[in-house]
Amino acid sequence: MNSMKNSSQQGFLACAIIGVMAFAGGGSAVAQVSQKTLDSIGIPDNVETSLGTLEFFDGVPTHATAQTLHDNLDRMRAVEVYLNNQGAASLNAMRKGNASIGADASNKVTITEQLLQPASLYLTGNTSTLYALTYLDLKTEGPLVVELPPGMLGFLDDAWFRFIDNLGVIGPDKGKGGKYLLLPPGYRGEEPDGYFIIKLPTYNNLMFLRGSIANGLEPAVENIKSKLRVYPLAKADNPPATEFINMSGKSYSTIVTRDLSFFEDLNALVQVEPIQAIGPELRGQLAAIGIVKGKPFQPDARMKRLLAEAATLGNATARAITYQPRIDGVFIYPDTNSAWTTAYANKNTSFEEDGAMGLDARPLFYFNATGVTPAMATSHAGAGSDYALAYLDADKNAFDGSKTYKLHLPPNVPVNNFWAVTLYDTQTRSLLQTSQTFPTVGSQSEGFQKNKDGSYDVYFGPQAPQGHESNWLETVPGKSWFTILRMYGPLKPWIDKTWRPGEIEQVK
């Protein structure tokens, strides 16, 4: 029986071989993969790349090549972490910066009693409105009560600087003020009546408030200091006092770092926040470089070197995205060679479109600005505000602080309230530090001159052009700069682009 079985198997095998030979044309017993196919799916023994020469033995990398490729993979992933978590890093840097001047608890509110000044490093902050900021720690303090004064304009952002809800004029209280109850992630306790209730997805959050100074700065400051209250719900019967820390003119930084500490701070945030605060993709990127919730972050010497390189590359890449953007919706006047851009590509504050995250749009905003609310990207004629940024001059070159430039604004600047032009430092993306207390000029500036035809000219340079001193913003030789044109209460000609600012041209 066994011999019969073996004979049958041998006969079947012989038939199979004959079939293969027939299929192959009878020329060979083994079909060969074409060289063209091998070339498309394989790799030569030596490959020249931007990483240097990569060496293989029939597709197997040498030990040195494998190490080079692993280093490159770790570095690439760390660069992605740097870019994709700019929002989280920025809010955390703001929290640490304000803690350095005493604002280290939820009920300690920083306020610009004499407006924001260049000594305080804030991403593209402005000198035209009153700020009040506090960093809410619901991990330590549990549910928080915010008693909001009337007339506020504000919002809440979470630990990754994502928009949560509006407050004040465009929020639930409609500008009348009222009590808000902010609940931490996973809260299952009582939700008492009498509050506007907002459920937050992270423990660390930013409350950003603006107060109108239309009737003067002092009454606006008093409105906030006398009526804004922040305290734990558990202490509602006897709330502790809310403290106010004047940050006007104080020298400190809230800017993200460009070194290993970027990743160390990000790890500290990940350890505090709920695991579901970010999705699997971002968690996977973090895990790939050693940042995992519940585990220590202990990069070895090799990884520290790669992380430091990645921070530099990430920072440099964010600057390329800023100065030479290549995505749609950034240039305000794309039909021309205009340099004017917007902070929110396509006016999109979620940075998502058609189910996909805008991987350039997100760092474009977070590297240069803070505070996310849809209200900042929604134009209603005569209300709100809109912004135009000029990072480059009319010839698409970086601005040179040793040279003089001019911005021409045609007659009838279309604003319901006022407009302002402010200068920023290209390194810090904060107010440019010069001899001017406020590096801003505009329709509210004392002595600002209008041309006979109703137009305006703004000058930028190391020295004021003779006869135009009141229309001049000082620059610093050896430094670059950029500017933001803010339109408060923009009217239809601005929104439909029938009125537009001139390009900033070098005049000397």
User: Are 350 and 492 in the same domain?
Assistant: yes
- For residue 205, the domain's CATH number is 2.60.40.1610
* Cβ–Cβ < 8 Å for 291, 310: no
Maximal C-alpha separation, the chain? 115
Predicted local confidence at residue 90, as pLDDT: 97
Assigned domain for 24 exists: no
User: Are 481 and 380 in the same domain?
Assistant: yes
- For residue 468, the domain's CATH number is 2.60.120.600
Assigned domain for 3 exists: no
The pair of structure tokens assigned to 402 is: 């040793």
Predicted local confidence at residue 384, as pLDDT: 84
> Which H or E run contains 422?
strand 415-425
* Alpha-carbon dihedral 408, 409, 410, 413, rounded to 10 degrees: -170
Residue 316 has pLDDT above 60, yes or no: yes
User: Are 477 and 344 in the same domain?
Assistant: yes
Measured CA to CA, the distance from residue 243 to residue 105 in angstroms comes to 9
* Cβ–Cβ < 8 Å for 405, 504: yes
Assigned domain for 281 exists: yes
Assigned domain for 476 exists: yes
The per-residue pLDDT for range 336-380, each reduced to its tens digit, is 999 999 999 999 999 998 999 999 999 999 999 999 999 888 878
The pair of structure tokens assigned to 498 is: 């029938």
Residue 285 has pLDDT above 70, yes or no: yes
Residue 323 has pLDDT above 80, yes or no: yes
User: Are 66 and 198 in the same domain?
Assistant: no
Q: 273 is in which domain, residue-wise?
A: 61-101+257-324
User: Are 356 and 473 in the same domain?
Assistant: yes
Which amino acid belongs to residue 249?
A: G
User: Are 355 and 461 in the same domain?
Assistant: yes
Assigned domain for 33 exists: no
Task: Name the least confident of 207-216, 227-236, 280-289.
Answer: 207-216
User: Are 111 and 68 in the same domain?
Assistant: no
**Per-residue three-class SS string for 444-493:** CCCCCCCCCCCCEEEEEECCCCCCCHHHEEECCCCCCEEEEEEEEEECHH
User: Are 134 and 217 in the same domain?
Assistant: yes
User: Are 160 and 183 in the same domain?
Assistant: yes
| Residue that terminates a domain, selected from 225, 252, 279 | 252
The pair of structure tokens assigned to 314 is: 């990430």
Assigned domain for 5 exists: no
| Residue that terminates a domain, selected from 324, 342, 359 | 324
As a whole number, mean pLDDT of residues 266-279 equals 97
More confident residue, 363 or 34: 363
* Cβ–Cβ < 8 Å for 487, 415: yes
Assigned domain for 431 exists: yes
User: Are 124 and 225 in the same domain?
Assistant: yes
Assigned domain for 52 exists: no
The per-residue pLDDT for range 86-137, each reduced to its tens digit, is 999 999 999 999 999 999 999 999 999 999 999 999 999 999 999 999 999 9
User: Are 472 and 358 in the same domain?
Assistant: yes
412: left (phi over 0), alpha (psi -120 to 50) or beta: left
As a whole number, mean pLDDT of residues 252-271 equals 97
Predicted local confidence at residue 4, as pLDDT: 43
Measured CA to CA, the distance from residue 403 to residue 475 in angstroms comes to 8
Predicted local confidence at residue 40, as pLDDT: 87
User: Are 351 and 312 in the same domain?
Assistant: no
* Cβ–Cβ < 8 Å for 457, 407: yes
The per-residue pLDDT for range 35-65, each reduced to its tens digit, is 888 788 999 999 999 999 999 999 999 999 9
Residue 472 has pLDDT above 90, yes or no: yes
Confidence of residue 29 (pLDDT cuts 50, 70, 90): low
As a whole number, mean pLDDT of residues 415-430 equals 97
As a whole number, mean pLDDT of residues 396-414 equals 98
Confidence of residue 7 (pLDDT cuts 50, 70, 90): very low
* CA-to-CA separations, 301 to 304, 307, 308, 311, 346, in angstroms, rounded: 5, 10, 11, 15, 42
The pair of structure tokens assigned to 327 is: 């995505």
Predicted local confidence at residue 15, as pLDDT: 44
Which amino acid belongs to residue 297?
A: F
* Cβ–Cβ < 8 Å for 200, 164: yes
| Residue that terminates a domain, selected from 215, 233, 252 | 252
Count of structural domains, the chain = 3
- For residue 275, the domain's CATH number is 1.10.3360.10
Does the CA dihedral 368-254-155-353 come out positive or negative?
A: positive
